[in-house]
Structure 1
Amino acid sequence: MKSYFYLLSLLFVFLFGINQSQAQNRFIEAADQAYTNLQYSIAATNYKKAYTKAKLAAEKERILFRLAECYRFINDTHNAEITYGSLVRNGYGRQNSMVLLFYAEALRANEKYEDAKDIFEQFAKAEPKDPRGQNGIISCDQAKRWAQAPGKYEVINERKLNSSEDDFSPAFADVNYRSLIFTSDRDASTGKSLDDWTGKNFSDLFSSSIDQKGMWSEPVLLDVSGVINTKANEGSATMNSTFNRLYFTRCPNNKGRESGCQIWFSNKGENRWTNPEMIQLSKDSTIAIGQPTLSSDELTIIFSCEKVGGYGGKDLWVSTRNSINEPFGAPMNLGPEINTPGDEMFPFLSGDSVLYFSSNGHIGMGGLDIFKSSRTGNRWSKPQNLLPPINSSADDFGIIVVPKEDRGYFCSNRKGGKGGDDIYSFSRPPIVYTLKGVVKDDRSLQFLDGAKIKLLGSNGSSVETRSDPKGNYGFSNNQLEPNVTYDIEAGKDNYFTKKARETTVGIDRSKDFVINFNLEPIPDKPVILPDILYDLDKWDLKPQYQDSLQGLIRTLEENPRLVVELSSHTDARAGLEYNDQLSQKRAESAVNFLIERGIDPGRLKAKGYGKRVPRTLSQDMVREGYTFKAGTVITEEFVASLPDKPTQEAAHQMNRRTEFKVLSKDFIPKPINKAITPHIEIVTVPDQDSVKLTSDEEGFLIIPVIANGINYSVSLAEGDDSYLHFSKPETLKLLKEGVISKNDFDGDSEAVLANSTVADKAVFKLREVRIGTKTIKNIKASVSALQKVSIMMGEEMLSRFGQYTLDRKKKLLILK
Structure 2
Amino acid sequence: MRNALSLLSFVLMLSLTALAQDGYQKKTKKSKADEAFLVQNYYDAAALYKEAYLKEKNRAKKSELTFLQAECWRMVATPQALKKAESMYKRAIKAKYPHAEVYLRFAQVLQLQQKFDEAVEQYQKYQQLKPEDDRPAKGIESCAFAKEALDNPTRYNVDALDIANSRANDFAPSFGNGDYDVLFFTSARDGGVGKGADGSTGQSYTDLWSVKRDKRGNWSKPVVFPEPMNTGAHEAATSLNKRGNEMYFTRCEESSKEKPVPTCEIYFSKKKGKGWTAPVLLPLPYDSVTTFGHPSISEDGKILYFASDMNGGYGGKDIWMVKKMKRDEWSEPINLGDQINTSGDELFPFIHADGALYFASNGHVGMGGMDIYKAEFDAEGTLLSISNMKSPINSPLDDFGIIFEGKREVGYFSSNRTGGKGGDDIYQFNLPSLTLTLSGIATDANTNSIVGGANVSLMGTDGTTATTITDNSGRYEFGKDVISEGVAYELTISKEGYLSTSANETTFGVRESQDFVLDFSLEPTKKEIVLPRIEYDFNSAKLRQESKVALDALVAVLLDNPTVIIELRSHTDFRAGTEFNMGLSQNRAQVCVDYMVSKGVEPVRLIPIGMGETEPYVMDRKDGRLKMGVALDESYINSLRREKDREKAHQYNRRTDFKVLDKFYNPDTGEILKSDN
Q: TM > 0.5 between the two?
A: yes
Alignment pair present for 1:253 and 2:254: yes
1:287 aligns with 2:290: yes
Cα distance per residue 1:587-633 (max 9 Å; x no partner): xxxxxxxxxxxxxxxxxxxxxxxxxxxxxxxxxxxxxxxxxxxxxxx
Closer, same or farther: CA 22–182 of 1 in aligned 2, 3 Å: closer
CA deviation vs aligned residue, 1:386-436 (integer Å, no higher than 9, x gap): 0001000010000011221111110100011111111111111122579xx
Distance 1:268 1:421 in 2: 28
- Specify whether residues 22 and 242 from structure 1 end up closer, same or farther in structure 2 by C-alpha distance, changes over 3 A only: closer
- Residue 215 of structure 1 deviates from its aligned partner by 1.7
Query: Which residue among 357, 360, 370 is the counterpart of 2:359?
Result: 357
Matching of residues 292-303 of structure 1 within 5 Å? 292-303=295-306
- The one-letter amino acid paired with 2:316 is G
Aligned to 2:136: 133
CA–CA separation in structure 2 for the residues paired with 1:88 and 1:23: 31
Q: Tell me the distance in 2 between the aligned counterparts of 1:301 and 1:128.
A: 40
1:240 aligns with 241
- Provide the rounded CA distance (Å) in 2 between the counterparts of 1:206 and 1:16: 33
Whether contact under 8 Å (1:160, 1:216) holds in the other structure is yes
Hey, what's the Cα distance between the residues in 1 that align with 2:470 and 2:112? 49
Change (3 A) 1:84 1:274: same
Closer, same or farther in 2 for the Cα pair 1:125/1:507, shift >3 Å? closer
> Residue in 2 aligned with 1:737?
none
1:321 aligns with 2:314: no
1:419-465 CA distance string (max 9 Å, x none): 1111111111122579xxxxxxxxxxxxxxxxxxxxxx99878899x
Structure 2 residue 86 is the aligned partner of structure 1 residue 81: yes
1:170 matched to 2:173? The reply is yes
1:705-716 → structure 2 map (5 Å cutoff): none
1:697-738 CA distances to partner (integer Å, 9 max, x unpaired)?
xxxxxxxxxxxxxxxxxxxxxxxxxxxxxxxxxxxxxxxxxx
Q: TM-score, normalised by structure 2?
A: 0.62
The answer to whether 1:145 aligns with 2:148 is yes
Query: Does the CA contact (< 8 Å) of 1:259 and 1:287 recur in 2?
Result: no
Contact 1:168–1:423 (CA<8 Å) still a contact in 2?
yes
| Corresponding position of 1:64 | 66
- SS class of match (1:381): strand
Distance 1:253 1:463 in 2: 79
Question: Is the contact between residue 14 and residue 262 of structure 2 (CA under 8 Å) also seen in structure 1?
Answer: no
Q: How much does 1:65 deviate? A: 2.6
The Cα shift of 1:150 comes to 0.5
Alpha-carbon contact 1:295-1:352 (below 8 Å) kept: no
What is the CA–CA distance in structure 1 between the aligned matches of 2:472 and 2:4, rounded to whole Å?
56
Does structure 2 conserve the Cα–Cα contact (< 8 Å) formed by 1:107 and 1:113?
A: yes
Deviation readout 1:722-761 (Å, 9 max, x if unpaired): xxxxxxxxxxxxxxxxxxxxxxxxxxxxxxxxxxxxxxxx
- Distance in 1 (CA, whole Å) between partners of 2:262 and 2:376 is 34
CA shift at 1:78, angstroms? 1.9
In the alignment, which of 387, 393, 398 is matched to residue 396 of structure 2? 393
Contact conserved, 2:213 with 2:219, CA < 8 A, in 1?
A: yes
- CA 1:507–1:355 in 2, change beyond 3 Å: closer, same or farther? closer
Amino acid at match of 1:242: R
- Give CA-to-partner distance per residue, 1:132-162, whole Å, 9 cap, x none: 2221111111111110110011111110111
Structure 1 SS opposite 2:275: coil
Distance 2:177 2:314 in 1: 36
1:420 aligns to what SS in structure 2?
A: coil
Deviation (angstroms), 1:342: 1.0
| 2:281 counterpart residue number | 278
The separation in 1 between residues aligned to 2:508 and 2:309, in whole angstroms, is 43
Please name the residue that 2:426 is paired with.
423
Distance (whole Å) between structure 1 residues aligned to residue 355 and residue 481 of structure 2: 37
Aligned-partner SS, 2:197:
coil
Are residue 117 (structure 1) and residue 120 (structure 2) matched? Answer: yes
Contact (CA 8 Å) 2:167, 2:423: kept in 1 or not? yes
1:697-712 matches, within 5 Å, as none
Q: Secondary structure at the match of 1:391?
A: coil
Aligned to 2:373: 371
Equivalent residue pairs, number: 462
1:130–1:402 Cα change, 3 Å: farther
Relative contact order, CA 8 A, sep 6+: which one is greater?
2
Kindly provide the amino acid, as one letter, of the partner of residue 420 in structure 1.
G
Give unpaired runs (5+ residues) of structure 2: 438-455, 459-467, 474-478, 488-504, 516-520, 522-677
Aligned to 2:651: none
- Give, in whole Å, the separation in 2 of the partners of 1:266 and 1:369: 30
1:31: which partner in 2?
33
SS at match of 1:139: helix
TM-aligned CA distance change 1:6 to 1:198, over 3 Å: farther
2:245 is matched by which residue type in structure 1? N
Cα displacement (A) at 1:180: 0.8
Distance, in Å, in 1 between the alignment partners of 2:63 and 2:396 is 29
Equivalent AA in structure 2 for residue 243 of structure 1: G
Over residues 67-101 of structure 1, what are the superposed CA-to-partner deviations in whole Å (9 max), with x where a residue is unaligned? 12211221132222222333344443x53x43332
| Residues 49/354 of structure 1: CA separation in 2 closer, same or farther (3 Å cut) | same
Q: CA deviation at 1:196?
A: 4.7
2:83 maps to amino acid:
H
Q: 1:196–1:482: structure 2 CA closer, same or farther, 3 Å change rule? A: closer
Do 2:297 and 2:303's aligned partners in 1 also have CA atoms closer than 8 Å? yes
Distance 1:479 1:292 in 2: 39
Residues 399, 408 of structure 1: 8 Å contact kept: yes
Mark the runs of 5 or more structure 1 residues left unpaired by the alignment: 435-456, 465-476, 485-502, 514-556, 558-816
Contact 2:11 2:261 in 1 (8 A): no
* Mapping for residues 230-629 of structure 1, pairs under 5 Å: 230-255=231-256, 257-326=260-329, 328-351=330-353, 353-376=355-378, 377-432=380-435, 508-511=510-513
- The amino acid across from 1:234 in the alignment is E
Give distance in 1, aligned partners of 2:251 and 2:161: 25
Contact 1:152–1:508 (8 Å) recurs in 2: no
By how many angstroms is 1:25 displaced?
8.1
Indicate whether 1:213 and 2:207 are aligned.
Answer: no
- In structure 1, the residue matched to 2:184 is 181
Distance 1:3 1:253 in 2: 16
Q: 1:504 to 1:21 in 2, by over 3 A?
A: closer
**SS state at 2:316 partner:** coil
Q: Distance in 2 between matches of 1:16 and 1:374?
A: 43
> Which residue in the other structure is 2:658 paired with?
none
* Deviation for aligned residue 1:320: 2.2
Deviations, residues 30-88 of structure 1 (Å, cap 9, x unaligned):
42332233211111122222211111123213322321221122113222222233334
Q: How far apart, CA to CA, are the structure 2 residues paired with 1:281 and 1:88? A: 46
Q: How many Å separate the matches in 1 of 2:513 and 2:365?
A: 31
Q: Give yes or no for contact 1:296–1:352 (8 Å, CA) kept in 2.
A: no
One-letter amino acid of the counterpart of residue 365, structure 2? I
Tell whether the 8 Å contact from 1:40 to 1:73 is kept in structure 2 after alignment.
yes
**Could you say which structure has the larger radius of gyration?**
1
TM-score by length of 1: 0.52
